[in-house]
Structure 1
Amino acid sequence: MEKLKRNRVQTSQRIVDALEEVIAEKGIDGIGINRISEKAGVSKVLIYRYFGGLDGLLTHYIRMGRLFPLLSPSTLEQLRPVHENDLSKLWYKQLVHTYRFFRQFPAAYQVLKATVTEDSPMAGEASKAYDAELTRIVDQLSYIKGADFQAISAIMTGAMSYLTLLSRNGRTAVGINLTTEEGWQRIEEAVRVIYTALNKMAVQSPDVTIEIHPSGIPATYW
């Protein structure tokens, strides 16, 4: 029984790895059961058996933590701000790390591209799963009450998604060259400034409260 379970885990991993390779090479609309099964070296029947088909496989891939981190309760407790002004650091670093990943890894970029620019059933599935994971991580890292952090995050992630797509097309944004590290350093510094200002506004607002780490242990995750 244990051997069967181990074999299933290994086979599932090969299928997921094959999917990731196909996405990187062909994009979301280029994935197919035959192509994935051939690359994984497994019967396509197993893809249906383990994941229910392409939609289930794609959703599983997006939710398994390769695009957005899977944070345990203990990790979330470590991330809780020690001081009120620490919230901006958490949000800034999370956003910067996320979009560095989307710029650097071809499969992640293709998923992002599909959710923003493509119109197909497979892109629709990717978009739903992507947004669910983005919502999850934003909710987990909010640590704030009385402010519309979801709307703020929608604006910030939308802007970063747009700029990431522009960078792959060799475009500029307000004269900033997004194909260079210098250009992205300017963007990331602007993100830091925005979140610092928002954090300051939240601290000064009588309607907003920030959840502080009760033990006073500094967050070390980022």
Structure 2
Amino acid sequence: MERKSAAGSIRNKERSKKKFLDAVGKILKTKGYAGLKVNDIATTAGVDKKMIYTYFGGMDGLIDEYIRSQDYWINATTDKTDKILPDIKDGGEAFIKEMLLSQFDYVYTNKEAQKLLLWSLSEPRKSLKKLIDTQEENGEHIFKYIFHPYFKGNSQDFRAIMAIMVSGLYYLNMFASVNGSIFCGLDMNSPEGRERVKRAISFMVEQTYENLNSQED
């Protein structure tokens, strides 16, 4: 009987935590980060605001957990890296192509992720800085064990190219969502325009591998 009661309490706690996290996402999408207030989150979640402190230790803990749950690179890199590492024979070309193409779609379809990106550019916050630091740590793991051995002396150039590509994918998606859809004559909200960008992503990755690797020979 006690065991069933304990299991029920755990399930209730997890349901309530999810309600809070979902409420943060809903408010972030509709009102932006300025609308993330304790009372509003509790009302949206339909859970007593005291539980924010019980489950998360306060607003910072809640926001930290929400941010971790939404970040593409934190959620994707570890799983994908663990699966693909044993089979890497191409210097990570297929891996990084898949990651960039997946990220392009993820940010486009996830309005909460877009808001987090805008938030990270608009306001200094410890939880956002922690998110960025974690992204960099995950990225460093990938660069060190996959790309550096392949590109060797050109690995810093590879980093620079990836920085431009990732930031470009972020911007194109946020631009299409907020203030317009036509960029360089391509409609970023149309299947045709997005498919052209995807082909360009694949092309740039292939050219990067072909040219940087040949320089090392």
Question: What TM-score, normalized by structure 2, do the two folds share?
Answer: 0.78
The unaligned stretches of length 5 or more in structure 1 are 208-222
Q: Which residue of structure 2 lines up, in the alignment, with residue 82 of structure 1? A: 88
Alignment CA distance shift 1:28-1:186 (3 Å): same
2:80 and 2:170 map into 1 onto residues whose CA distance is 26
Distance 1:70 1:105 in 2: 14
Structure richer in helix, relative to its length: 2
Q: Is the 8 A contact 1:27 1:111 kept in 2?
A: no
1:38-57 → structure 2 map (5 Å cutoff): 38-57=43-62
- Cα separation, 2, equivalents of 1:170 and 1:72: 30
CA distance in 2, matches of 1:48, 1:113: 27
* Cα pair 1:63 1:129 within 8 Å, conserved: no
One-letter code aligned to 2:147: I
| 1:93 to 2:98 alignment | yes
* Structural RMSD (CA): 2.7
Deviation at 1:27, TM superposition (A): 1.6
User: Which of residues 184, 189, 195 in structure 2 aligns to 1:185?
Assistant: 195
Q: Following TM superposition, by how much is the alpha carbon of 1:95 offset from its aligned partner in structure 2, in angstroms?
A: 1.5
How far apart are 1:48 and its partner, in Å? 2.0
CA distance in 2, matches of 1:58, 1:27: 13
State the SS of the aligned residue for 2:47.
coil
> Whose RCO is larger (CA < 8 A, sep 6+)?
1
**In the comparison of the two structures, how many residue pairs are matched?**
202
- Any conservation in 1 of the 2:93–2:206 contact (CA below 8 Å)? yes
Distance in 1 (alpha carbons) for counterparts of 2:79 and 2:135: 20
Q: Are 1:61 and 2:66 an aligned pair?
A: yes
Query: Which residue of the partner structure matches residue 138 of structure 1?
Result: 139
The reply on whether 1:14 has 2:23 as its aligned counterpart is: no
- Look up the equivalent residue of 1:170 and give its one-letter code: G
Choose from 172, 178, 188 the match for 1:163.
172
Q: Is the 8 A contact 1:115 1:130 kept in 2?
A: no
| TM-aligned CA distance change 1:172 to 1:65, over 3 Å | closer
Give the CA deviation at 1:34. 0.8
In structure 2, the partner of 1:211 is none
Question: What is the percentage of aligned positions where both structures have the same residue?
Answer: 23
Query: Residue 30 of structure 2 aligns with which residue?
Result: 25
> Deviation string for 1:121-151 (max 9, x for gaps)?
5xx3464244234324433443121313544
Q: Distance in 2 between matches of 1:42 and 1:57?
A: 14
- Structure 2: unaligned runs, 5 residues or longer: 1-5
Q: 3-state DSSP class of the match of 1:35?
A: helix
